[in-house]
Amino acid sequence: MKKRIFLILMLINILACKAQEGRIEELGTVYRYEITSGTYLKDMNNRMSYYTGIWKGEYEGKYIFLLITKSTKNKHTNGDGSYWYEDEMFGRYELYSGNPEMPSTTIIASSMNSPLPAPIFSVGTGINNQFKFAYSDPQFCNAEGELILRRNLSNPNQLTYLFSPRGHFVFDPDCPYNGTIPVPLPNAVITLTKVN
């Protein structure tokens, strides 16, 4: 009889441990170091949908387009083999020398059709009506920066774009830039309007 009770308790213990691995947590409510392996950090309140789509802005006579997409349940693995899933956003950009509807306008820089990974990816959690993104562009020797997209609560079709580049040193001998890597994204505060 004691053996059966012991086996039943062991089975319950094993099932309880397995159940913890599949936890779902709201994105932004826990830190990554607090989660157990197998946890899914999910955009349960659908905050990311506000930011997805094509956004257009004007600065210094030039135009920027951002395409932001949402990707769900992306798996990340730590060095110790533990893992978690997370909903994330990815972005691509296109910069024009002037109004894109004018025939004399040229594309200054673009990541839209690049086979390389998207250079803009979410690292923030959507609290305080904004998302933080990291910028690391493989087309420009992985030039880096930080992008914040902030909601305009009075106009759902607008975002405020705040970008600041980070200093980056060239260690790659194959990088075509001699010491100074150009960062195509404007270091500015820009109002973006949703195109679709």
Judge if pTM exceeds 0.85.
no
Q: Is residue 141 part of a domain?
A: yes
Residue 16 belongs to a domain: no
Residue 17 forms part of a structural domain: no
Is 12 inside any structural domain?
no
> How many domains in the chain?
1
Residue range 64-121, pLDDT digits in tens:
999 999 999 999 998 999 999 999 999 999 988 877 777 666 787 888 888 778 888 9
Instruction: Judge whether 148 lies within some domain.
Output: yes
E strand intervals along 78-142: 83-96, 107-110, 120-122, 130-137
| Domain extent for 114 | 22-194
Residue 184 in domain: yes
Residue range 11-48, pLDDT digits in tens: 555 554 444 458 999 888 888 778 899 999 999 989 89
Mean pLDDT calculated for residue range 152-181: 81
For residue 51, is it within any domain? Answer: yes
177-186 pLDDT, tens per residue?
Answer: 766 777 888 9
Is 3 inside a domain boundary?
no
